[in-house]
């Protein structure tokens, strides 16, 4: 039932979010095992997406931006002049696909500033995508935690600012979030359709419990929509 579809989106839009974790829909695995399997399956989905979306003649021109994957420690913390994201982008670049951008909370704030890949993605969007014909797709980014205030704004003001400056500009192309427990269900959206709350009633069968135009918060789905259905 859950398949990825990329529609012909409006040329006005340039920033898209895609989130799906299919392992949650079929079986329950806890801890590091779940994370490892999810990462493996997600990488396969990214490959399938690229095979469908990127034409064969452009595959040879697909490349990785070194700054996103290998940032300089000294440049990030201001010891030398910081390299701009726009300096890493070439004129012919058309699409940026960012897989699993996350927020690293394991770095001690007493020693070094915490690193957020999402802040780098925002920089990429502002310097290389905004006001151009380029597109940027975020795949399974850690956006739900940022939206929900999981990271206290007092300690992480730049990250919290993304909820007002960056995240509202995104269009969600494909989204699946599974809710476990007695009142379990799934929040689902496939662009340009409505946001739907689904419940599994059999093998690969789901019923729609609720639908609306805008994305409901995960708290609203878990505490209000699913228990009352």
Strands 135-139 and 115-116: unpaired
Enter the DSSP assignment of 88: G
CA distance 122 to 25: 30
Question: What was the pLDDT predicted at 1?
Answer: 31
Question: What was the pLDDT predicted at 138?
Answer: 86
- The strands making up 195-202's β-sheet, listed across from edge to edge, are 95-99, 135-139, 15-19, 171-179, 185-190, 195-202, 205-212
* H/E element, 226: helix 226-228
Enter the DSSP assignment of 189: E
Question: What was the pLDDT predicted at 12?
Answer: 47
Question: What was the pLDDT predicted at 112?
Answer: 41
Question: What was the pLDDT predicted at 21?
Answer: 58
CA distance 84 to 100: 22
Mean pLDDT by runs of 10 across the 229 residues of the chain is 38 63 51 60 76 66 55 53 71 83 57 62 88 87 84 84 88 88 90 93 87 95 92
- CA dist list (Å): 197 to 3, 24, 116: 16, 15, 30
Domain ranges of the chain: 15-179
């Amino acid at each position: 039932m859950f398949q990825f579809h990329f529609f012909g989106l409006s040329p006005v839009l340039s920033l898209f979010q895609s989130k799906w974790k299919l392992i949650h829909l079929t079986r329950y695995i806890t801890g590091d095992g779940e994370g490892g399997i999810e990462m493996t399956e997600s990488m396969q989905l990214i490959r399938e997406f690229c095979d469908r979306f990127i034409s064969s003649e452009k595959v040879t021109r697909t490349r990785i931006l070194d700054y996103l994957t290998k940032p300089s420690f000294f440049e990030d913390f201001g010891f030398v002049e910081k390299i701009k994201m726009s300096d890493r982008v070439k004129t012919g670049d058309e699409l940026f696909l960012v897989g699993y951008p996350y927020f690293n909370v394991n770095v001690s704030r007493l020693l070094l500033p915490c690193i957020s890949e999402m802040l780098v993605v925002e920089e990429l969007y502002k310097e290389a995508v905004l006001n151009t014909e380029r597109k940027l797709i975020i795949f399974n980014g850690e956006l739900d935690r940022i939206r929900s205030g999981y990271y206290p704004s007092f300690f992480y003001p730049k990250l919290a600012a993304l909820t007002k400056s960056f995240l509202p500009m995104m269009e969600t192309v494909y989204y699946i979030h599974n809710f476990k427990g007695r009142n379990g269900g799934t929040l689902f959206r496939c662009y340009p359709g409505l946001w739907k709350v689904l419940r599994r009633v059999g093998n690969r069968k789901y019923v729609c419990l609720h639908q609306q135009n805008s994305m409901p918060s995960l708290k609203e789905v878990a505490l209000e929509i699913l228990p009352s259905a």
